């Protein structure tokens, strides 16, 4: 008789696929209404991170390319992978030797293709001073450093209408000119749809 009672008491566990603690209307396989305390955890290495969604359901948290979980430690991924760099990657763009004062409108340095993950762009090949009125391929938040490698002057023109509106540069000043080698650091503002100069060094 006692064994029969045990069987009947266990039947609900097999008849229902959802179990509730402090709730009579479980919404998941296991539904806990209240706080949760876990003690004496094992020393096994976890492979996943979990979190709660807006309904309180426990779900896996996907790690972005810049994070890694190794040996129970969550850390930034310092890989220099070209698909998702966390360090500045550089590329070289060769400009034509040209003539003094050449103007580059809507300068194409392959920001959406070959140099999509590059930040530092080395501009080489010039024998004469030149002007840049705009740079194509800008996207919101895009960080770009132009390094004028040669011993000629690089001129950045402010809001120059020779380039398309979305490629123009806001220098927050007049046209700026390097004295030989120099760098120009820019960020693309998606609202203004302009490059904004944030640093300029000779």
- Give pLDDT tens digits for 123-171: 999 999 999 999 999 999 999 999 999 999 999 999 999 999 999 999 9
Q: Kindly indicate the confidence band of residue 25, based on its pLDDT and cuts at 50, 70 and 90.
A: confident
Confidence band, pLDDT 50/70/90 cuts, at residue 7: very low
Q: What is the number of domains present in the chain?
A: 2
Domain that holds residue 181: 90-201
Residue 107: what pLDDT?
98
73 in the same domain as 95: no
Q: Is the pLDDT of residue 188 over 80?
A: yes
Is 39 among the domain residues? Answer: no
Q: Which of 38, 60, 82 is the last residue of a domain?
A: 82
User: 6 in a domain, yes or no?
Assistant: no
Instruction: Give domain status of residue 31, yes or no.
Output: no
CATH number assigned to the domain comprising residue 195 = 2.60.120
- Same-domain check for residues 144 and 168: yes
pLDDT digits (tens, 9 = 90+) for 54-102: 877 878 877 666 677 776 777 766 554 555 555 789 999 999 999 999 9
57 Cβ contact list (under 8 Å, min separation 6): 27, 28
- Whether residue 104 is contained in a domain is answered as yes
110 with 166, same domain?
yes
pTM value is: 0.61
What per-residue confidence (pLDDT) applies to 8? 43
């Amino acid at each position: 008789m006692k064994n029969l009672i045990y069987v009947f008491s266990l039947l609900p566990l097999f008849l229902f696929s959802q179990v509730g603690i402090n709730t009579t209307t479980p919404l998941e396989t296991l539904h806990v209404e209240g706080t949760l305390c876990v003690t004496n955890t094992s020393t096994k290495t976890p492979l996943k991170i979990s979190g709660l969604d807006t309904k309180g359901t426990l779900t896996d948290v996907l790690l972005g390319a810049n994070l890694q979980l190794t040996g129970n430690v969550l850390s930034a991924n310092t890989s220099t992978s070209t698909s998702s760099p966390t360090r500045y990657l550089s590329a070289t763009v060769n400009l034509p030797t040209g003539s003094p004062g050449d103007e580059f409108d809507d300068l194409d340095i392959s920001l959406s293709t070959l140099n999509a993950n590059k930040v530092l762009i080395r501009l080489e090949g010039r024998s004469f001073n030149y002007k840049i009125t705009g740079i194509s391929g800008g996207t919101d938040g895009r960080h770009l450093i132009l390094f004028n490698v040669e011993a000629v002057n690089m001129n950045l023109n402010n809001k120059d209408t020779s380039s398309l509106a979305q490629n123009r540069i806001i220098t927050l000043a007049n046209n700026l000119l390097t004295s030989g080698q120099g760098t120009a650091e820019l960020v693309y503002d998606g609202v203004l749809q302009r490059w904004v100069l944030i640093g300029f060094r000779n």
